[in-house]
Amino acid sequence: MAKPVRFGVFVPQGWRMDLTEIAAPTAKFDAMLAAARAADAEPTLDSIWVYDHFLTRPTPTLETVFECWVSSAALARETRRVNIGQLVSCNGYRHPALFAKMASTLDAASGGREIAGIGAGWAEHEFHAYGYAFPDTPQRMRAFREAVELIHRMWTESYPTFAGRAYTIDGAINEPKGAHGPPPLWIGGDGERVTLRLVAQYGDGCNVGDGDLAVIPRKLAALRRHCDDLGRDYDAIAKSTIVNTLVLEPGEDRAAAIDAARGHRSPERFRELFWVGAPEELAERFQALRETGIDYLIAYLPRLAYDHTQLQRFAREVAPLLR
């Protein structure tokens, strides 16, 4: 029997140029918090999410991007029910021992609602802009393997020690480990040899495929093989994907809706990036994802800083069709 699908949404944080129409920094931050509160009020939504980036995409601009972990702490105190996650915290920006401590603290602050996401990092231009080294892929992935093991030790041992090539700790006490124990660890990225094996060994969740039905089955098959090799219960791991989504009202003009929602993107680029449709149409496409093994759908919805209609349509009209 298939697991029930859970749903999350990203809040507007600036990375995707989704706060540009608001002038004052405090008003921008308030818009992010307001979207989080709107999600908290929707029982079908399980979680809210933030990115870990410093510069806007697709190109760096002099526009606001709020930092991931400070934002997460504020979101935890502004909400009461939804889980708060990072997709994903970049390992290259913080020592993994600090990551473990930060996630434990946020879990305690939120009453056990933290979902701690971590990835190896990929945005080379951000690394360079902020003065972080960007090693080649093999070296970066070796460090990431060490980081995940180190975090696991910080969350399971009283006086953890670790001596690796990239990281060392010596009696790094981490108390509390969370509100009711350590938070779930989600590992982002879908490299079949290293990342998905780390998921099988240490992860409580993964994020793969960006909604691509041609890619996800292969990634989840690799995860299952690693679980079989390591004796891990594949079904115990949350399998998530991100889908950019625009929910239309029945009969709504598609081109007009895209034009209103596309922001800095061309209509053609928006259609490439977003799933656009009425609730039943989107639910059918999401069902196809579910049949690949995905059991956690995370939507990026446009213009939430200015209007919560998309969030409400997604929560009230799309999510119930898949539960």
What percent of the chain lies above the pLDDT cut of 90? 97
d(C-alpha 124, C-alpha 118), whole Å: 17
For residues 13 and 65, is the Cβ–Cβ distance under 8 A?
Answer: yes
Distances (CA, A) of 152 to 39, 84, 160, 267: 30, 20, 9, 44
Residue 180 CB partners (closer than 8 Å, separation 6+) = 112
Going by pLDDT thresholds of 50, 70 and 90, the confidence category of residue 3 is: confident
Residue 70 has pLDDT above 60, yes or no: yes
How many folded domains does the chain comprise?
A: 1
Nearest CA to 126 among 22, 56, 50, 184? Answer: 56
Residue 323 has pLDDT above 80, yes or no: no
**Which SS3 state, helix, strand or coil, does residue 37 take?**
helix
What percent of the chain lies above the pLDDT cut of 70? 99
Going by pLDDT thresholds of 50, 70 and 90, the confidence category of residue 188 is: very high
Residue 59 domain-assigned (yes or no): yes
**Which SS3 state, helix, strand or coil, does residue 79 take?**
coil
Packed helices 279-292 and 216-230: angle between N→C axes, nearest 10 degrees: 40
Amino acid identity of residue 42, one-letter, is E
What own/partner pairs with CB < 8 Å and gap ≥ 24 does 211-214 have? 211/241, 211/242, 211/243, 211/244, 211/275, 211/289, 213/288, 213/289, 213/292
Residue 84 domain-assigned (yes or no): yes
For residues 313 and 279, is the Cβ–Cβ distance under 8 A?
Answer: yes
Going by pLDDT thresholds of 50, 70 and 90, the confidence category of residue 2 is: low
Nearest CA to 323 among 122, 45, 98? Answer: 45
Per-residue pLDDT, averaged over 287-292, amounts to 96
Give the pLDDT confidence of 143-184 residue by residue, as tens digits: 999 999 999 999 999 999 999 999 999 999 999 999 999 999
Taking the CA atoms of residue 54, residue 59, residue 62 and residue 63 in that order, the dihedral angle to the nearest 10 degrees is -70
d(C-alpha 228, C-alpha 220), whole Å: 12
DSSP H or E run through 170: strand 168-170
Residue 1 domain-assigned (yes or no): no
What own/partner pairs with CB < 8 Å and gap ≥ 24 does 266-269 have? none
The confidence score (pLDDT) of residue 227 equals 98
Give the pLDDT confidence of 75-97 residue by residue, as tens digits: 999 999 999 999 999 999 999 99
Amino acid identity of residue 4, one-letter, is P
Residue 227 domain-assigned (yes or no): yes
Q: Which domain holds residue 200?
A: 6-322
The confidence score (pLDDT) of residue 1 equals 54
The confidence score (pLDDT) of residue 287 equals 96
Can you give the CATH number for the domain in which 219 is found?
Answer: 3.20.20.30
The confidence score (pLDDT) of residue 149 equals 98
Residue 123 domain-assigned (yes or no): yes
Residue 127 domain-assigned (yes or no): yes
Residue 11 has pLDDT above 70, yes or no: yes
Residue 33 domain-assigned (yes or no): yes
